[in-house]
Amino acid sequence: MTSVVNERSTMEAFGPHRAYASGLRLASGVEPDRVVNTHCCFCGQQCGIQLKVKDNEVVGFEPWTDFPFNRGMLCPKGVKRYLQGAHPDRLLRAYQRDTTASSGFAPLAYDQAIHRVAEAIGRIQQAHGDDAFAVLTGASLTTEKAYLVGKFARVCLRTANIDYNGRLCMVSAAAGNKKAFGIDRAANPWEDILPAEVVWISGANVAECAPITTEYVWQARENGARIIVVDPRITPIARTCDLFLPVKPGRDVALFNGVLHLMITHGWVDETFVARSTVGFEAVAEHVRAWTPARTAEVTGVPESAIRQAAEWWGTAQTSFLMHARGIEHHSHGVQNVLGAINIVLASGRIGRPGCGYATITGQGNGQGGREHGQKCDQLPGARDISNPEHRAHVARVWGVEPESLPGAGVDAYEIFRKIDKGEIRGLLSICFNPKVSLPDNNFITRALEKLDFYVAIDFFLNETARHADVVLPGSLHEEDEGVVTQVEGRVIKINKAVECPGDARQDWRIIQDIAGALGRPHGFTFDGPRAIFDELRAASQGGVADYSGITYEKIERQFGVFWPCPSEDHPGTPRLFESGSWNPVARGTGPFYFPDGKARFNVAAYTPPAEDTDADYPLMLTTGRVVSQFLSGTQTRRIGPLVDQYPEPRIEMHPQLADRLAVRDGDWVTAETRRGDCTLRALVVTTIRPDTVFIPYHWPGRKSANQLTIAAQDPISKIPEYKVCAVRLRKAAAAPDHAVLEPQQG
Amino acid sequence: MGHEASKAIRWGLFTTTVLAVLIVVGSRNLAHFDAALVGYTFATLFAVFGITYRYVMWLQRPPTALYWRRGWQVFLDRRYLLGNLRVLVWRLLAVFASNNFIWRRGRKRWAAHWLIMWGCVLAALITFPLVFGWVHFDMPAGDFEHYVVYVLGFPTMTFPVEGVLAFLVFHGLVWAALLVIPGVMIAMHRRMRDHGAGAVQQFGEDFLPLILLFAISVTGLMLTASYTWMRGYAFDFLAILHAIAVILTLLWLPFGKFFHILQRPAQIGVAFYRDIGGRAGLAACARCGQEYATRMQIDDLIEVERRLGYRYELGDGQADHYQRVCPQCRRAMLAIAQGMLWSSARGPVVEPMFDIATMMSPQQER
Amino acid sequence: MPVAANTEFFIDPSRCIGCQACVQACEECDTHRGHAMIHLEYIERAQSTQTTPVVCMHCDSPTCAEVCPADAIKRTADGVVQSARKPRCIACSNCVLACPFGVPKMKSEFELMMKCDMCYDRTSVGKKPMCATVCPSQALHFGTREEVERLRPRAQPVNRFRFGQQWITTKVNMMAPAAPPAYIDVTAAMHAGPTGRRYALPVVGAGASG
């Protein structure tokens, strides 16, 4: 396959370039043609926002103070999201690879491009089998699109190999929740944070990755809550929290086990709840017997006194809310970490009641909805199991196909690249995914991309991965289409269209249907719009755990969102899970949890060290994460000038004790090196990180990419990669790296 | 109050008298003074009194007084005078003639201001000497082909009646109106459309001056139209309207936005104050050590604040006055002071203590 | 229209998370479009993640206005200290250097001081200022006194500040613990470092004070 020959010329033509407000967007006297109520296009908080539209261009925003979740609040990304439209880098037509063109791409008529894609899919599947063509999707797509792409893979392409970038995000929490509760959704609406006596935050840089949640946490504190934060870094919320547990990366489950140990020895377990509503406590109690405070302190690196204090506050509280995010989930034992957290929640008995809550903080915009309706390799719509015959039959009936024709479970997103590398997968369609930046050990990803026979990317900007594509199809921006997404609380909300697609670009669902048509298999791909897709999705999800059948666009507008499950049109939705009497198709009245006996499961959460622990050669721990002004692989946010300016380039965060040993000063170039690669960035010398740990944000591509360093070790259950810890060594760089001459957003 | 006001009144009377005397002398004992314009003259005299009064009151404010004194002091400093004069010429061209700083604020805003400003300058240069009888035109005896320009009663240049120059000169106020009217239109348009301007503008401050200028320009043009194409139709009526507009404007000069015309030259002095103050040394922040202003300006501000009755004095070993702390440190101190109250209310936080030596086994150390 | 008398600004820097939503949003306001008037300060990033937003406190008798040689800064009847009047401001920077809170900004390219005017285009028509509307931590909060008393029972809004011998009273409130003293002594922080938690350095004497 062709390699990326001249990235500089490609960048010149397709960006990333930085957009700033100008023209109508800078004038202060513009009367918008209309103001559209919609949501932010970025993270899982999905803040309500109003976009001002003039002359088919989003020219600004106005806070949407009526939307109850954020009441007008926005983070800097939400404030500047309007600058992504009418962008000079916007793909306005289809392209094909052309090594004779200086940019590497030549324009192509849309119909011809679709024809080329269909022809390539046919050729590859005929020669190598249906599964040789894979589909990679994203959790920023609306639920309608996610549903349609899942159906497209299973019904039109008949490939098992579809997976999505939620694999990098939500899967550990999802797997843990399913094992413990039988359902994968935040158990509570965010308003349950407010009356909590203790708010426990593990592995979540709330201030930067879920900024709006900060207000809920602080408001709980105004009401008297104690805030416990577990993190290797003193994040902005950790600075003033009541108790800070500076955990060593990758040791979260040990901490939870140690806390449970203390809860048991001090009699802080809600025996009644445990007996009535759970199973499996004895085995877990037996397991945590060994997790004495001393051992916990030794493994986690948290002072014993702090562990005891945390256990006491948690154990004796009357109400509480525990939340976690990627910090405990991005591990080769991410599911174990999540189960450890759930165990202390179940032991406290504080769930399913007002002020008693538990949730994972969803990362991506539709991280929740995107994983429920069939773009995950092992799931069918309604969070149904693709290997369950009953589930297959239901979905096949809705789709009008034979259950036997549906493929089985495919492999996860990373495994898809391993299969590409091995030659088992020869063709790829990607949408809303930038694995060259976002997957760990991404030098491997680059090599794999070059082995593909055919790669088609659908996107609105030419992201770094799409530079390897044979055909690029111009998709739609968030504001160019309508549909639903499910935000962090499990609230299904409505994205509204503000502007029309420019040029040859079109809504992604149209592109998918056009490909199906060109393949000669249009059956089931002739929807006239998102509403029609949503109606079929409702039917497909009916009776499943993630039941959307009672949700309508109108009801969403009326109620400011509808919490699923919502099994009928007269059902108001389910803001809080696990309340007695709430709708539950699995337990059917036997109990609050989503198992036939209605009881939650304690699971033994075993501690294992990270896949790659420190040693003499690589004596430090590397952890990665986000900054507030950037989002994921930066395809959008690295194109928004004011956001780039806020935090232009990645820096290696390190403690002065470590910096002293390396003779490094703030701002010096430092090379971080792991067994997979190296990366030279400027140092950020701060006392707000453990001295044995360094942190690099991952939003940048190429030689600035933190994921050159990260390890592709995955959790055996969820298959999430271990972004949050690997062994690294540092040295002061002799000179500035080659990438120092690039613009900050490029790499 | 009494002292400042009486000083201002004295100055006002003085400048008004001086102007009156100049009018009498310049018009050769009112020989060239056009009695029809007496209304304008008295309005001007009133304006001069008002402007002087306000100017003197303004100069007596402690910051203005100090700035005024310091401005002349640094400008006239012999060591820098030559350089200052060079800078002055450049600043006059850039700031006054071309309004470069307004250009950077916004093109529309600049266009409006530049057109209005040059229109008014042109009109003032023509009108005042004519009204005061300092300039008048006459034909040499027996020669109906030429005009002679008399300045202060002395004949100067001569030009043909039918020539281009005559056309240009006698329509000078037309050209001024044609500059002012588009300028006013642009400014009005901005004021009516721009939400930001809309929020803070006031009728008296922002609209009235534009309306007055518009009224003067339009009635003036109508006068020209009346005698050029309409055989003087309604000329007298228009002349009264025009006079009312002009006189109202003159009377309004000391009170409203127009006063900035007289205050504005102070802007020229800022550069000298900064440059020469900078040569005398920079002030370093008493808290962070960063240089943040000229020492001269900080000392002047301390003096001004004392005179205004502020007591920002510190009993601090490192600094005698809060003015010696840079703005950035002030912003930080506010947050720290508030944080300290909360720290003592909530009790001390648990501070984790680590030693890198204990975090890596000996063989891991490199 | 004046700013409604029953709505006030309440600032709690201890809530600030440094996200800069306020800075990004400030640029979107019509009275100073394209220019952020709010300051977002890192107190000392090497030592702490402490940050603080600084908006104009709108002093009852504004030092900035009194030291202005051009008389360009006016306080409207509703107590809002407005940005410098463009025709008058001569860009001397006296206000920038004299403001006890460090608020005004000198836009040297415009030869003009600009400052936070509490989003007069919004507050004068009954909306909240842009920064306080978007602020995800509600370190910047705009609302009624009853609302803030109900939401934050452990805090009290104070509007008296001490700078050496000088007391300044402001329109904008800052949230302090609901206990005496009911004022903030700013110059008491003259030699203090960031507040809140940080990893202590084991070497005795290392690290900043406070």
Query: How large is the ipTM?
Result: 0.95
Residues of chain B in contact with residue C14, where contact means CB-CB under 8 angstroms, are 335, 338-339, 342
Nearest CA in chain A to C49: A236
Q: How close A614 gets to chain B, by Cα (Å)?
A: 8
Q: What is the mean pLDDT of chain A?
A: 96
Question: For residue C201, what pLDDT is reported?
Answer: 66
Say if residue C202's pLDDT is above 70.
no
Size of interface B-C (CB pairs under 8 A): 238
pLDDT value of residue B295? 95
- Residue B350's pLDDT is 66
pLDDT digits (tens, 9 = 90+) for B261-274: 888 888 888 888 88
Which sign does the torsion angle of CA C42, C43, C49, C53 carry?
A: negative
β A693-697/A620-625 pair status: parallel
pLDDT for residue B163 is more than 70: yes
Position with higher pLDDT, C199 vs B191: B191
The whole-number pLDDT of residue A2 equals 43
**pLDDT, tens digit, for every residue of B67-122?**
999 989 888 988 889 988 998 999 899 999 999 999 998 899 999 999 999 999 99
**For residue C24, what is the domain's CATH number?**
3.30.70.20
CA distance C128 to chain A (A): 10
Chain A window 45-104: which residues touch C at a Cβ cutoff of 8 Å?
60-61, 63, 65, 70, 72-76, 78-80
- Residue C199 predicted with pLDDT over 70: yes
Domain hosting C168: range is: 7-60+118-189
Subunits next to C (3 or more Cβ pairs <8 Å) are A, B
Q: How far apart are CA A440 and CA A708, in angstroms?
A: 7
Contact A392, A406 (CB under 8 A): yes
Residue of A nearest to B106 (CA): A27
Q: Looking at beta carbons, which residues of chain B come within 8 Å of C194? A: 336, 339
> C-alpha angle with apex A561: A556 to A566, nearest 5 degrees?
80
| Distance in angstroms (rounded) separating the CA atoms of residues B166 and A347 | 101
Spatial separation of the C-alpha atoms in residues A525 and A151, rounded to whole Å: 9
Examine residue C206 and state whether it is found in any structural domain, yes or no.
no
CB contact under 8 A, C70 and B64: yes
Say if the Cβ atoms of B351 and C67 lie within 8 Å.
no
Rounded to 5°, angle at Cα A695 from A691 and A701: 155
Using 50, 70 and 90 to split pLDDT, how confident is the model at A510? very high
* Domain regions of chain A by residue span: 20-84, 107-169+366-456+463-472+506-546, 172-361, 620-741
Span A454-472, average pLDDT: 97
Query: Which candidate from A242, A614, A690 shows the least CB-CB separation from B364?
Result: A614
Q: pLDDT band at residue B208, thresholds of 50, 70 and 90?
A: very high
Tell me the C-alpha distance between A589 and A360, whole Å.
26
Calculate mean pLDDT across residues A108-129.
98
- Give the Cα separation of A347 and A269 in Å (integer): 5
Average pLDDT across chain B, whole number: 90
Smallest CA–CA distance, residue B257 to chain A, in Å, is: 23
So what's the pLDDT on residue B318? 77
Instruction: Report domain A172-361's class.
Output: alpha beta
Residue pLDDT, tens place only, A566-594: 999 999 999 999 998 889 999 999 999 99
Give the strand pairing for A678-685 and B135-138. unpaired
C113-164: pLDDT as tens digits: 999 999 999 999 999 999 999 999 999 999 999 999 999 999 999 999 999 9
* Chain segment A253-296, per-residue pLDDT in tens: 999 999 999 999 999 999 999 999 999 999 999 999 999 999 99
> B350 and A655 in contact by Cβ < 8 A?
no
**Residue A581, burial from CB neighbour count under 10 angstroms (0-12, 13-18, 19+):** exposed
The answer on pLDDT for C205 being more than 50 is no
Strand ranges of the sheet holding A491-495, from the earlier edge strand across to the other edge: A483-486, A491-495, A562-563
Fold held by A107-169+366-456+463-472+506-546: Rossmann fold (3.40.50)
Q: What's the pLDDT score for residue C204?
A: 41
Say yes or no to pLDDT of A1 above 50.
Answer: no
Look up the pTM and report it.
Answer: 0.94
Alpha carbons within 13 A on the beta-carbon side of B300? 26
Q: Is the pLDDT of residue A531 over 80?
A: yes
C-beta separation of C156 from C51 below 8 A: no
Helix axes A281-288, A334-348, angle to 10 degrees: 110
Structure tokens at B185: 């239109």
Chains in contact with chain B (at least 3 beta-carbon pairs closer than 8 A): A, C
Using CA atoms, how far apart are residues C59 and A64, in angstroms rounded to an integer? Answer: 31
**What distance in Å separates the CA atoms of residue A234 and residue A244, rounded to the nearest whole number?**
8
Q: How far is the alpha carbon of B186 from chain A, nearest alpha carbon, in Å?
A: 14
Strand ranges (DSSP E) for B183-263? none
Contacts of A729 in chain B (CB under 8 A): 366
Residues C120/C146, Cβ–Cβ less than 8 Å: no
Of C52, C92, C163, the CB nearest to B312: C163
CA torsion angle for B325, B327, B330, B336 (degrees, to 10)? -120
Tens-place pLDDT, residues B312-331: 999 877 789 999 999 999 99
With contacts defined as CB-CB under 8 Å, which chain B residues touch A27?
Answer: 194
Q: What fold, for A620-741?
A: Barwin-like endoglucanases (2.40.40)
Residues of C in contact with B352 (CB under 8 A): 197, 199-200
Name the CA dihedral angle for A210, A434, A140, A715, rounded to a multiple of 10 degrees. -70
User: B336: domain range?
Assistant: 281-346
The residue-averaged pLDDT of C173-190 equals: 95
Residues of B (234-273) whose Cβ lies below 8 Å from C: 257, 260, 263-264, 266-267, 269-270, 273
Instruction: Report whether C44 contacts C50 (CB < 8 A).
Output: yes
- Residue-level pLDDT at C206: 39
Res A564 pLDDT > 70? yes
Rounded-to-integer distance, Cα C78 and Cα A546, Å: 53
Q: Is residue C31 a part of any domain in this protein?
A: yes
In chain C, which residues have their Cβ closer than 8 Å to the Cβ of B310?
63, 66, 166
Which pLDDT value is given to residue A4? 45
At A306-332, the pLDDT tens digits run 999 999 999 999 999 999 999 999 999
Residue C79 lies in a domain: no
B307/C contact by beta carbon, under 8 A: no
Mean pLDDT, range A461-478, rounded to an integer: 97
| Contact with chain C for residue B105, Cβ under 8 A | yes
Q: Examine residue B220 and state whether it is found in any structural domain, yes or no.
A: no
Share of chain A above pLDDT 70, in %: 99
The answer to whether C39 and C53 are in contact (CB under 8 A) is yes
Q: Domain A20-84 is of which CATH architecture?
A: 2-Layer Sandwich (3.30)
Residue C32 included in any domain: yes
Residue B293 in domain: yes
- Is residue A88 scored above 90 in pLDDT? yes
Among A333-337, A429-433, A523-527, B94-98, the range scoring the smallest mean pLDDT is B94-98
| Beta strand C140-144 pairing with C7-11 | antiparallel
Does A655 touch chain B if contact means CB atoms closer than 8 Å?
Answer: yes
The alpha carbon of residue C99 is apart from the nearest alpha carbon of chain A, in Å, by 26
Q: Which residue has the higher pLDDT, A617 or B204?
A: A617
Q: Residue A366's Cα: distance from chain center in Å? A: 8
Tally the residues of chain A. Answer: 747
Q: Do A615 and B364 touch (CB under 8 A)?
A: yes
Higher pLDDT, B169 or C182: C182
- Amino acid at the residue B189: H
pLDDT for B1 equals 54
Pairs across A and C, CB distance < 8 A: 143
Domain count within chain B: 1
